[in-house]
Chains A and B, each alone.
Chain A
Amino acid sequence: VRAGNVCIDTYEASVWQIPAANRALVRRVQLGRATLAELTNGGATQVSPASTCTPGFPTTFPATGNWTTPLFAVSVAGVTPTSCVTWFQAEQACALSGKRLLTNQEWQRAAAGTPDPGTDDGGTDCNVGGLGRPLASGARSNCESHWGAFDMVGNVEEWVADWVPQSTVCPGWGAFSDDLMCLAGASTTATGPGALVRGGSFQSFTEAGVFALDNRPTTTLGNSPAVARKSLGFRCAR
């Protein structure tokens, strides 16, 4: 969808391995025209769907993003988006599709207007809690922003491009919003930078929303760009 001067992917990204011989399908992906049917009929297989994170990323596309065999990020409805993906892998998969990660500002713009009731009716609201697992992209019909992007809130939380010092606390937004806000208390000891994560996930409940901003040290790697977890995916833009 067009949001101001950028094109934001309508759906959270799914990452696909495409047979090297199928150059035409790669071309369709890079033009943003590949459908789910074209991918499956073309012998493409999805990597690390958020439902199970299996099959995971191959050794030819390691956590560092230093790939030797390309994988491609695609914006299609009807498949569980890819998670268990590091910032480095996400950025490379976007780039191989002729795209890039959104900046924090672009993410905020594209998310505007997504309804954020705080609860989840299990049917049309954003997938923020109760179900406890990610859904196929676009499955929640009311979870659409004014610009037409789906699942900006909940489902899988999303990497954006920006790096900052790793945070140490989550003071929230105060009276402004009940969404998560963890950009605070720059670590003086973390052995890596932090990358921003937006929107909250299928397990964030009221903390999900268009203002949700995570940069928490949830593992020994903190929220550094080298982290991968089941609730964390991405989308691309160009």
Chain B
Amino acid sequence: MSLAVGMVTYVSSAAATDFPTFPLRRCAPDAVLAGTVCLDKFEATVWRVPNPATTNASLVKKIQMGRATRADLTAGAATQLGTFTNVDYAPCANNGQTCAHDIYAVSLPSEIPAANLTWFQAQEACANARKRLPTNAEWQVGANGTPDPGPDNGATDCNTDSDGQQSPTGARSSCISARGAFDMLGNLAEWVADWVPTSTMCPGWASFSNDEMCLAGASTTANGPGALVRGGAFASLGGARAGPLAVHVFQPQHSTNFVGFRCAR
């Protein structure tokens, strides 16, 4: 047996004891199994938790275990951030440099998901919850199977055209993917991990899909890379342009009232 073969054998036996074991079989109650990852069931709500290292250490632990409820957050005097037009993440700055142990992303039903935050703030909120932004490929698996009727009936369909703002998470009962994630289409468009050059145009998917497709025409002048945003939103990226194939490119330092995120682990 060569050294290389022996080493590979050893690495796999170490994985069984020291590191997460794969394939994943089960996720925390706030997430659904989507291929090789646990993807949050809902678009993220963001909370500021006071005293995270002392009186609220157990609340932080519950968040990190994916078991925190609205009642737990209220009991801990946590304040919800980023609802509708609120931009109240400070001192967690747009560049994400001051956000450790400050803002926490939580996947909860029937809450207003957080918008108006940059890619940097979104990934810090995930990281404090011991999660991360999903990759583009992971997001796609999580979204597949969500009905995409194009128009929006204002009740059960994904919120792409009717409310003019984000609906509470999971409020649109038909807007669920094959893996059980809600609001992958419409409501808030969602940051994913991947960076690319900033796009300059949106040629669409042609006959493949009526969803928007803006990954084209790399800018030579944009002051920032581009980060992918998926699924479309309630408004500016809504209507028929929203869908499981919708892909937009925003600079990671940008924030707006129709872009939010969800976490994975």
A172 and B193 in contact, given A20-B3, A23-B6, A70-B4 (Cβ under 8 angstroms)? no
A171 and B220 in contact, given A98-B11, A112-B124, A165-B197 (Cβ under 8 angstroms)? yes
Report yes or no: B222 in contact with A184, Cβ–Cβ below 8 A: yes
> Which of these binds chain A: B96-104, B141-149, B174-182?
B96-104
> Which of these binds chain A: B47-55, B108-116, B128-136?
B128-136
The residue that B195 contacts in the complex, of A23, A104, A112, with Cβ under 8 A, is A104
Report yes or no: B193 in contact with A103, Cβ–Cβ below 8 A: yes
Interface residue? B225 (CB, 8 A): yes
The residue that B224 contacts in the complex, of A3, A27, A165, A181, with Cβ under 8 A, is A181
Chain A residues within 8 Å of B123, by CB: 105, 108-109
Prevailing SS type, chain A contact patch: loop
Report yes or no: B218 in contact with A186, Cβ–Cβ below 8 A: yes
A47-B19 Cα distance, complex, nearest whole Å: 28
Report yes or no: B99 in contact with A70, Cβ–Cβ below 8 A: no
Report yes or no: B220 in contact with A147, Cβ–Cβ below 8 A: no
Which residue of B has the minimal Cβ distance to A98? B11
Interface residue? B7 (CB, 8 A): yes
A215-B123 Cα distance, complex, nearest whole Å: 23
Chain A residues within 8 Å of B220, by CB: 168-169, 171, 184-185
Q: Mask for A105-119, Cβ within 8 A of B = 1, else 0? A: 110110011000000
Chain B residues within 8 Å of A185, by CB: 197, 218-220
Report yes or no: B14 in contact with A176, Cβ–Cβ below 8 A: no
Minimum CB–CB distance from B63 to chain A (whole Å) comes to 12
Minimum CB–CB distance from B203 to chain A (whole Å) comes to 15
Minimum CB–CB distance from A33 to chain B (whole Å) comes to 11
Chain A residues within 8 Å of B194, by CB: 104-105, 162
Report yes or no: A171 in contact with B221, Cβ–Cβ below 8 A: yes
A112 and B198 in contact, given A4-B130, A20-B3, A165-B218 (Cβ under 8 angstroms)? no
Interface residue? A6 (CB, 8 A): yes
Chain A residues within 8 Å of B120, by CB: 108, 112
Chain B residues within 8 Å of A96, by CB: 7
Chain B residues within 8 Å of A173, by CB: 223-224, 253
Minimum CB–CB distance from A164 to chain B (whole Å) comes to 6
Report yes or no: A181 in contact with B225, Cβ–Cβ below 8 A: yes
Report yes or no: B132 in contact with A146, Cβ–Cβ below 8 A: no
Minimum CB–CB distance from A58 to chain B (whole Å) comes to 15
Interface residue? B67 (CB, 8 A): no
Interface residue? A227 (CB, 8 A): no
Minimum CB–CB distance from B7 to chain A (whole Å) comes to 6
Chain B residues within 8 Å of A106, by CB: 132
Minimum CB–CB distance from A73 to chain B (whole Å) comes to 14
Report yes or no: B225 in contact with A213, Cβ–Cβ below 8 A: yes
Report yes or no: A4 in contact with B127, Cβ–Cβ below 8 A: yes
Which residue of A has the minimal Cβ distance to B99? A112
Report yes or no: A5 in contact with B197, Cβ–Cβ below 8 A: no
Pull 5 A–B residue pairs with CB atoms less than 8 Å apart, ordered by A.
A4-B131, A105-B133, A105-B194, A112-B100, A173-B224
